[in-house]
Amino acid sequence: MVAEGEPAPDFTLTSDTGESVTLSHLRGNPVVIYFYPRDDTPGCTTQARGIRDAYADFERAGAVVLGISPDSVAKHVKFKEKYDLPFTLLADPEHEVAERYGTWGEKRYMGKTYWGVSRTTFLIAADGTVAKVMHDVKPDTHADDVLAALAVA
Share of the chain above pLDDT 70, in %: 100
Of residues 13, 44, 48, 51, which has the active-site annotation?
44
Give the model's pLDDT for residue 112: 81
Closest CA to 8 of 88, 95, 122, 99: 122
Active site residue 119: no
Cα R_g (the chain), whole angstroms: 14
- Whether 108 and 74 have beta carbons less than 8 Å apart is answered as no
- Whether 7 and 89 have beta carbons less than 8 Å apart is answered as no
Q: Give the chain's largest Cα–Cα span.
A: 44
Closest CA to 141 of 52, 60, 46, 61: 46
Give the model's pLDDT for residue 113: 81
Average pLDDT for residues 108-134, to the nearest whole number?
A: 91
Give the model's pLDDT for residue 138: 95
pTM for this prediction: 0.95
Residue 68 confidence (pLDDT) above 90: yes
Residue 142 confidence (pLDDT) above 90: yes
Domains defined along the chain, listed by start: 12-152 (3.40.30.10)
